[in-house]
Amino acid sequence: MTEEKYQEIAPLLELLHSNGRSYDYEKIKSAFLYAKELHEGQMRLSGEPYIMHPISVAEIVANLGLDTDSVCAAFLHDTVEDCPDKTNLDEITRLFGSDVALLVDGVTKIKSINVEEKEEAQIESIRKMLLAMSKDIRVIFIKLCDRVHNMRTLYVKKDAKRRATALETMHVYAPLAHRLGMQKIKQELETYALQYLDPIGYNEIKAHIEEKYGRNVNFIETIKANVKEELEKINISFTLGGRVKTVYSVYRKMYNQNKTFDEIYDFYALRIIVNTELECYTVLGLIHELYKSVPGRFKDYISTPKPNMYQSLHTTVIGKDGIPFEVQIRTKEMHQVAEYGIAAHWKYKSGEKSSADIDTKLDWISKLIATEEEAIDPEDFMHAFKIDIFHDETFVFTPKGDVIALPLGSTLIDFAYKIHTGVGNKMIGGKINGRIAPIDSVPQNGNIVEIITSNASKGPSRDWLNIVKTGEARNKIRQWFKKEKRAENIVVGKSLVDKEFLHMRSTCSDDEKNSIVASVAKRIGMMDADDLYNALGYGGISISKIDKKIRDEYEKTVKTKDNKEAPSVQLEPTITPTTKKKHKSSGGVIVDGEEGCVVKFAKCCNPLPGEDIVGFITKGYGISIHKIDCPNVQSAFSNDEYVSRFVKAEWDTPSNNSYRSSYESSLQILVTNRISILADISTALAEMKIDIVSINTKNVEDTTLFNMTISCRDISHFNSIISRLRSIKDVIRVTRAMGTR
């Protein structure tokens, strides 16, 4: 006999005992007592004690064959949310272990997502997000059981609430149950949902069914017995199954295919699974001998499969009392496709194409459930469910509540480009759950992500190419550079090509180089040399893809040239390396081509050791050294008069005495206003032993822009300073300032 205090769960305990598996009964009992104590005094709308709900959910969970921890979590699933002053996850972990706590937490989190009023297009994403958020698939099972009981008792709720819950059940939970192979749960959810969504339609069909089939409660069982007897006579092995259509599936068939109730011939259906295709036809003949067939209702999907690969023979025949029923005959293989290939069907309906992965995984679970009967220990069995279905995707919300799926590890920049190219290009910062976050932050499942844009934004930065995770964002950033920065890209591209010529110790003139590059461009399907330079500049093509072709073309050119004439003399200094000796280094830079000149670093771009540089012969002020991608260089390049005044320049090695230990560089820091933010920035710089040469500030609404000049060793030192600054709280972005003067 069950003790008095466990009287309420006596049916549940009996159910567990009867299914012949091992459970931790003490744990289950104490979870029940704990939940009862926590919910003490709480009532459901129906007037019954609240604990009746968790008990019912636990029974449904136990009926599914789930394990001890799932049953415990079912008892506790509403406690953390509904009794926050009496318990919490830590307490549940302490009492029942981390697995139970994880399950309770998962079910609670799902509850906080409002999926009731979403548009159709969002629903598939929401289903996926629910799966993604519940790291353990048992969370979804418990949630489905919770929903089943909520639907059973939905009548107590107000009308508007009923409708919203029914809609959510129909659109989100019933399809999830279907995907997980939980047919009974799916059917129960659909039946209740339909009762609230279209009570008139539901009652009408229910009445029709009772009127037409009500007197034949055991119809399908009788038919099965008859057919079994006949099939055994012809000596082939077979499996026999039967089903009765639910009110909802009749409803759907009537509305989707515009049929009347009397045109539904498959209210009853019998399924016969055999071994070979030939046997399918043999069995078909037998069925037609046994029963009178309905003309025009025979379909041979074996010789002509449906587009979704479905194969089967269908025929409708008339049984006892003139009741029609459908017979489906197929082989085991065809049955597999019919059962598990439904994945494709589901995707097709929701317009989803790229989620083959989830289908594979869910099908696997659904297969596990199908074989679950075979006395596997539930603890082992459930262990298999602790899988991460979307190990490669993250689901986040927009401020409007739309769900966006991103590859795992995606940053705010990826999110911005996913929303819209324009959003990405004008992005200046972002927020996660309402708090400012660095643009390279990685949002987590369920986060609300917001992008801050500004029309004053100068567009993406080249560093973003190294930060973003998705190809989509990378492509869009490249596209921007391709379109907006063609002139700059060409200079960058030329410098890359020049390095190649340097490696080849080329003596080509500018024109020769251009014609070599132009030939290469044509070979790879581009218009001219500038197009190729541009592509190299924005990263659309990498130099390693074309260096061999450049060599090829170069060798051809050189050979022709050697045969014709002596090597041409270079008339103009260019950034091409010359054969002249290298000149003395000054300020840590070695300049080719000009002797004894003074070098100064251009203020517009403040080049740093490690970066590609070029010298420009000024009138009377020596040679100024620019970064090769400095905007001023780029504009000078388009001017014929200036182009000849560029000279090759490169950094000296640090060991030479001309090498300086520090160089100036400018950066811009955009921050959210906060009292001690400047102190935080200068402390960070001081810790890194960085001198601030100058600083000025500009306020824009609730942000401040710092323009700062600092001294540093080289480009990698500079980059490390930037990343340190980016990690400071409330810093929106840090970029290198260039080309402003």
Residues with catalytic annotation? 81-82
Minimum distance of Mn ion from residue 9's CB (angstroms): 16
Minimum distance of Mn ion from residue 60's CB (angstroms): 11
Minimum distance of Mn ion from residue 105's CB (angstroms): 14
Minimum distance of Mn ion from residue 150's CB (angstroms): 6
Asked if 494 and 488 count as a contact pair (C-beta separation under 8 A), the reply is no
Other C-beta atoms closer than 10 Å to the C-beta of 270 total 22
**Which single residue is written with the structure tokens 């089939």?**
213
Asked if 151 and 191 count as a contact pair (C-beta separation under 8 A), the reply is no
Minimum distance of Mn ion from residue 81's CB (angstroms): 9
Instruction: In whole angstroms, give the CA distance from residue 320 to residue 219.
Output: 8
Minimum distance of Mn ion from residue 146's CB (angstroms): 4
Q: Structure tokens of 435?
A: 């708090």
Minimum distance of Mn ion from residue 124's CB (angstroms): 25
Minimum distance of Mn ion from residue 449's CB (angstroms): 29
Q: Which is nearer to Mn ion, 78 or 414 (CB)?
A: 78
Q: Which is nearer to Mn ion, 146 or 190 (CB)?
A: 146
- What is the Cα 48 distance to its own chain's centre? 43
Q: Structure tokens of 538?
A: 């924005």
**Which single residue is written with the structure tokens 């790229």?**
354
Q: Which is nearer to Mn ion, 145 or 492 (CB)?
A: 145
Closest residue (Cβ) to Mn ion? 146
Instruction: In whole angstroms, give the CA distance from residue 146 to residue 466.
Output: 45
Residues in contact with Mn ion, total (CB under 5 A)?
A: 2
Instruction: In whole angstroms, give the CA distance from residue 581 to residue 595.
Output: 10
Instruction: In whole angstroms, give the CA distance from residue 431 to residue 730.
Output: 10
Asked if 133 and 446 count as a contact pair (C-beta separation under 8 A), the reply is yes
Paired residues of 429 in beta bridges: 452
Minimum distance of Mn ion from residue 56's CB (angstroms): 9
Report which DSSP code applies to 169.
Answer: I
Q: Which is nearer to Mn ion, 146 or 279 (CB)?
A: 146
The reply on whether position 168 binds Mn ion by CB under 5 A is no
Q: Which is nearer to Mn ion, 145 or 722 (CB)?
A: 145
Q: Which is nearer to Mn ion, 146 or 498 (CB)?
A: 146
Q: Which is nearer to Mn ion, 75 or 417 (CB)?
A: 75
**Positive or negative: CA dihedral 250, 255, 259, 262:** positive
Instruction: In whole angstroms, give the CA distance from residue 330 to residue 308.
Output: 15
Minimum distance of Mn ion from residue 387's CB (angstroms): 25
Asked if 131 and 100 count as a contact pair (C-beta separation under 8 A), the reply is no
User: Interaction with Mn ion in 212-241: which residues (CB under 5 A)?
Assistant: none
Q: Which is nearer to Mn ion, 114 or 239 (CB)?
A: 114
Q: Structure tokens of 676?
A: 């001690």
User: Interaction with Mn ion in 96-155: which residues (CB under 5 A)?
Assistant: 146
Instruction: In whole angstroms, give the CA distance from residue 435 to residue 440.
Output: 14
651: nearest Cα among 594, 605, 610, 595: 610
Q: Which is nearer to Mn ion, 146 or 393 (CB)?
A: 146
Q: Which is nearer to Mn ion, 115 or 404 (CB)?
A: 115
Cα torsion 513, 517, 519, 520 to 10°: value is 140
727: nearest Cα among 467, 441, 450: 441
Integer CA distances (angstroms), 138 to 59, 62, 100, 142, in order: 15, 12, 10, 6
Instruction: In whole angstroms, give the CA distance from residue 148 to residue 190.
Output: 10
Q: Report helix, strand or coil for 672.
A: strand
Instruction: In whole angstroms, give the CA distance from residue 72 to residue 81.
Output: 16
Asked if 130 and 110 count as a contact pair (C-beta separation under 8 A), the reply is yes
Q: Which is nearer to Mn ion, 54 or 493 (CB)?
A: 54
Minimum distance of Mn ion from residue 12's CB (angstroms): 16
Phi and psi for 589 in degrees, rounded to 5? -120, 135
User: Interaction with Mn ion in 72-101: which residues (CB under 5 A)?
Assistant: 78
Question: Which of these ranges, 5-13, 39-47, 71-79, 351-359, lies near Mn ion under the rule CB under 5 A?
Answer: 71-79
Instruction: In whole angstroms, give the CA distance from residue 492 to residue 490.
Output: 5
Asked if 55 and 123 count as a contact pair (C-beta separation under 8 A), the reply is no
Report which DSSP code applies to 448.
Answer: B
* Alpha-helix residue ranges (DSSP H) falling in 64-198: 68-76, 79-82, 89-96, 98-111, 120-133, 137-152, 159-168, 174-179, 183-197
Footprint of Mn ion (CB under 5 A): 78, 146
